[in-house]
Chain A
Amino acid sequence: MNERVPRFLRWFCPPHLLEEIEGDLVQRHERDLVRHGASKARVRLCWSALGYLRPGIILRNSFTVRLFRMIMLQSYFTTATRNLLKSKVFSAINIFGLAVGLAACMLIFQFVSFEFSYDTFHEKLDRTYRVTNDRFQNGKLIQHGTIMYPTIGPTMAKDYAEVEAYTRMMPSGEANFKVSDKIFAGEQSIFADEHFFTAFSFKLISGDHLTCLKDPYSVVITEATALRYFGRSDTKYTEHLGTAIYLAGDSNPFKITGIAADTPANSHLQFSVLFSYSTAIAQDAGADNSWTWSDMRHYLVLKPGADYKALEAKFEDFSNRYFQGEKVSGSIEKFYLQPMKDAHLYSDYEYDIARTSDGRAVWAMSGIAIFILVLAWINYVNLTTSRAVVRAKEVGVRKVMGAVRSQLIGQFIVESLVVTLLALAVAVGIVAAVQGTFNQMIRSELTLASALTLLDGQAIIVLTVFFACGIILAGFYPAFVLSAYQPATVLKGKHQGSSGGRFLLKSLVVFQFVASTALIAGTLVVGKQLSFLNEADLGLNIHNTIILDPPQRTAWDSVYLDRIESFKHAVLQIEGVTKVTTSGRLPGQRLGRNFGIRPADRPSDKQYTLSVMPVDHDYIDAYGITIVAGRGFLASEATMKYEDLKTVLLNESAIRLLELGTPESAVGKVIVMGQQDKKWTVVGVVKDYHQESLHKPKEAIVFRPAYWNNSRASIKLKDNNFERVLPEIETAFNQHFPDNAFGYTILQDRYEFQYRDDRRFGQVIRIFTGLGLIISCLGLIGLSAHMAVQRTKEIGIRKVMGASLFSIVSLLTSGFMNLVIVAALVALPLAYLGVDNWLSGFAYRIELNWLMFIPPILIVVGVAAMTISAQVLKAALARPAETLKYE
Chain B
Amino acid sequence: MPKEYLGEFEELVLTLVAALREDAYGAALAEEIDKKMGREVNLSAVHVTLYRLEDKGYVKSSFGGGTKERGGRRKRIYTVTSAGMAMLRAMKESRVELWKMVPQLKMNTKLG
Contact = CB atoms under 8 A, between A and B. Distances in A.
Contact of A24 (B25, B52, B55, B63): B25
A52 B45 CA distance: 8
A60 interface: yes
Contact of B48 (A20, A26, A57): A57
Contacts of A51: 42-45
A338 B100 CA distance: 101
Given A31-B31, A54-B44, A26 B26 contact: no
A23 interface: yes
B74 to A, nearest CB: 6
A25 B43 CA distance: 7
B47 interface: yes
Contacts of A443: none
B48 A21 contact: no
Contacts of A23: 26-27, 66, 70-71, 73-75
Nearest to B72: A1
A64 B55 contact: yes
B48 A48 contact: no
A28 interface: yes
Given A26-B69, A28-B30, A56-B51, A20 B75 contact: yes
Contact of B74 (A20, A56, A60, A64): A20
A28 B27 contact: yes
Given A20-B76, A51-B43, A1 B71 contact: yes
Nearest to B69: A30
A643 interface: no
A54 B48 contact: yes
| Highest count of chain A CB atoms <10 Å: which of B42, B67, B71, B75 | B71
The main secondary structure of chain A at its interface with chain B is helix
Contacts of B63: 20
Contacts of B73: 19-20, 22-23, 26
Interface residues of B, number: 25
A22 B75 contact: no
Nearest to A56: B48
A59 to B, nearest CB: 11
Nearest to B73: A23
Nearest to B45: A51
B85 to A, nearest CB: 23
Contacts of B44: 48, 51-52, 54, 57
A22 B72 CA distance: 10
A2 interface: yes
A48 B48 CA distance: 13
B71 A21 contact: no
A27 interface: yes
B43 A19 contact: no
Nearest to B30: A28
Contacts of A60: 51
Interface string A37-64: 0000000000110011010110010001
A681 to B, nearest CB: 109
Interface in A376-422: none
Contacts of A20: 25-26, 47, 63, 73-76
12 contacts: A1-B72, A20-B26, A23-B66, A23-B74, A24-B30, A24-B43, A25-B27, A26-B71, A27-B67, A30-B69, A47-B42, A57-B48
Given A4-B71, A20-B76, A51-B43, 19 more contacts: A20-B25, A20-B47, A20-B75, A21-B47, A22-B71, A23-B27, A23-B66, A23-B73, A25-B27, A26-B69, A47-B42, A48-B43, A51-B44, A51-B45, A52-B44, A56-B52, A57-B47, A57-B48, A64-B55
Q: Lowest 8 CB-CB distances: which A-B pairs, in order?
A: A23-B73, A51-B44, A1-B71, A24-B26, A24-B27, A56-B48, A23-B70, A20-B76
